[in-house]
Amino acid sequence: MTLSCNAVFEGGGVKGVAIAGAVLGMEKAGYTFSNLAGTSAGAIVAALLSAGYSGKEIHNLLSNLNYKKFRDKSYFCGLMGKAVTLTLKYGLYPGDYFTNWLDDLLKAKGVRTFGDIKQPNAKLDKYTYKFQAIASDISSQRLLVLPSDLKYFGINPDKFSISQAVRMSMSIPLLFVPFKLKDIKGNIHLIVDGAVLSNYPVWLLDDDTLNPKQPTFGFKLLEADNNITWQCNKIQITGLYDYLKKLLNTMLEAHDNYYSAHAKGDVARTIAIPTTVNLPGETPKNISAIDFDITFQESVALFNNGFNAATTFLRTWDFEIWKNNYRELLRNRSQKYPPV
């Protein structure tokens, strides 16, 4: 039996392989993806799916990937050189290796621009393109949904490169140089990781009706012993590097953790994927977004976490029950208090 759904994938850097595992779990259960959206690593998985890659193919690509290559050659060498690069470029790495890597993978499926994944007869404008990437315009301090928001820059979405959009979405602040876009007035905008404003926009693909025809699932990455509704770890900060790492994690996660804790129905449609790996003979290890030295064994363990999370979630998932619990209330309220 084939089942259709929408999917929104959270960002998570090198942890994206766990999302690929969850995708394979969904595919094994008979699901296909009608509309896709993602932030950062989630945008990578969503872009590859939109081009025609399967969950298994994405797993093979990500688990064998040398993430160190994403740290492409900095503009200046040495510690002082990196300080100069941060001062002048606002990031350490150009991101060219990543852009070319993704572009080559998309081209292998005959896909390059958003026009190649345009969906004919889309019922809503938000479904015009099979895939959407989330980015943050820090110059205008606003969330960007690509490709639709390219209109503010006078750019035809059909002609815009998907790999460039994903490059914007995965531009982790300080690590990668911000992407630059010029608006129709000639002003330069700096675009960075979508997670700065929304790492988990599970609401994005909702059809805005009280009786949706297909579910929208969210795929969220969680540290060990945390729950979806509220993540709160008491972690000692021991130095500047630790401080900057925790500051970055807080910036990327806090808003969406709060939203998920208070939104009606979002937790119930979220596939929570643990990012802690347990390898034989080793202490359990939580994989962070910037663990570019991740091993093949850790990558496989993350993938299995995702697969198991999706399989477990689907055992109890019931779309009709979800609608009755979280959309029937809205329907009754709208009938009792019709809009003026």
**Between vectors from CA 266 to CA 317 and to CA 287, what angle results, nearest 5°?**
90
**Torsions phi, psi for 108 (to 5 deg):** -65, -20
> Using CA atoms in the order 203, 204, 210, 216, what is the torsion angle rounded to 10 degrees?
-80
Of 129 and 198, the one with more pLDDT: 129
242 is catalytic: no
Q: How high is the pLDDT of residue 208? A: 79
63 is catalytic: no
Q: Is the pLDDT of residue 233 over 80?
A: no
CB 270 within 8 A of CB 309: no
User: Which tens digit of pLDDT belongs to each residue from 243-256?
Assistant: 555 555 555 554 44
Q: Which is the catalytic residue, given 137, 193, 256, 266? A: 193
DSSP conformation letters of 285-301: EEPPTT-TT--HHHHHH
Of 236 and 295, the one with more pLDDT: 295
Strand pairing partners for 143? 136
Sequence-separated (6 or more) residues with CB below 8 Å from residue 212: 206, 323, 327
The C-alpha atoms of residue 9 and residue 162 are separated, in whole angstroms, by 16
Strand pairing partners for 286? 276
Q: Which one-letter DSSP state was computed for residue 265?
A: S
pTM: 0.85
User: Which tens digit of pLDDT belongs to each residue from 258-269?
Assistant: 444 445 688 899
**Torsions phi, psi for 234 (to 5 deg):** -90, 100
| pLDDT band at 333; cut points 50, 70, 90 | very low
Q: Is the pLDDT of residue 200 over 80?
A: yes
Rounded to an integer, what is the distance from CA 277 to the centroid of its chain?
20
Helices (H), the chain: 16-28, 41-51, 55-63, 78-89, 96-108, 162-169, 240-262, 296-316, 319-326, 328-336
User: Which tens digit of pLDDT belongs to each residue from 27-47?
Assistant: 999 999 999 999 999 999 999
User: Which tens digit of pLDDT belongs to each residue from 87-96?
Assistant: 778 888 888 9
Q: How high is the pLDDT of residue 232? A: 41
Q: Is the pLDDT of residue 54 over 80?
A: yes
Which of 80-94, 99-113, 292-306 is most confident?
Answer: 99-113
Q: Is the pLDDT of residue 164 over 90?
A: yes
Q: What is the average pLDDT score of the chain?
A: 84
